Amino acid sequence: MSKQWVLVRGIMSEAFHWGDFLPHLRAHFPTHQFHTADILGNGRQCKHTTPLSLNKNVQALREQAPAPGKKILLGFSLGGMLALEWAHRHPDEVEAVILINCSLNNSAIYKRLQPLSLKNIFQSAIQKDPLRREEIIIRLTTTALPADRVQQLAASWGPRVLEHPVKPINFLWQMFVAAQVTQRRTPPAPVLVLASEKDRVVHPDCSHKIAKKWDIPVIKHPAAGHDLTLEDPHWVLEQVQNFLKTK
């Protein structure tokens, strides 16, 4: 049976950064339809200013996946937060929600953005060499990628950032949007929570707090960093497959 998916990345990130994960997902679900939606201000939407309104951000994602029918929403970081908002605001459109290393505003700010990560974010912001800037971000958001793989990714991502730059104001506005997302009642669709134990950006306690309130499990990767689908796409795919079989 064919299903529809919408995949949404996080702050300063875009569909291009799904990397190998998206082809693996398509190969495992060959009859399904996949939409990769960018937050306004990122990627293909880089010419836009990120709205401060949650509703406008959700609406922009919906407009990038206009096909009728319920959808599986898979969101990374801020993308997951907006996926939850989508599910609450338009429950008739959502079949399931998959959260990857997310936080909500019931977690402490120093866990939603860990202090040690701020240094790396600042270094990347002032770095003029796009390859070096991407290398800093990749090293921050992963834990065990070989050095040659980091350099390979940076060489691919650097030119992309020049073509689809994120304006500094959009980075700030996306941080503000993230701060608004609250943990409401149990969502009107099944939820899978995935967390990386070695996440140096968003503390894994944030995922635990989300799951505990809704009395659902957290599935933890013991070694990966924040960008879980980049670091271990096969593991994520396995968890997603198991979830969809049981929901």
Q: What is the SS3 assignment for 138-159?
A: HHHHCCCCCHHHHHHHHHHHHH
| pTM beyond 0.85, yes or no | yes
Over the stretch 210-243, which tens digit does the pLDDT of each residue have?
999 999 999 999 999 999 999 999 999 999 999 9
Structural domains of the chain, ranges and CATH numbers in brackets: 4-246 (3.40.50.1820)
Q: What's the CA gap between 129 and 89, in Å, rounded?
A: 41
Q: Which residues pair with 71 in a beta bridge?
A: 4, 94
Q: Where do the H-state alpha helices sit in 142-232?
A: 147-163, 168-180, 205-214, 228-231
Q: Report residues of the chain scoring pLDDT below 50.
A: none
Q: Which long-range contacts (CB under 8 A, 24 or more apart) does 30-34 make?
A: 31/1, 31/2, 32/2, 32/3, 32/4, 32/5, 33/2, 33/3, 33/4, 33/5, 33/67, 34/4, 34/5, 34/7
pLDDT one-digit tens code per residue, 73-91: 999 999 999 999 999 999 9
Sheet with 218-221: strands ordered across? 33-37, 4-8, 71-76, 94-100, 191-196, 218-221
Q: What is the pLDDT of residue 246?
A: 84
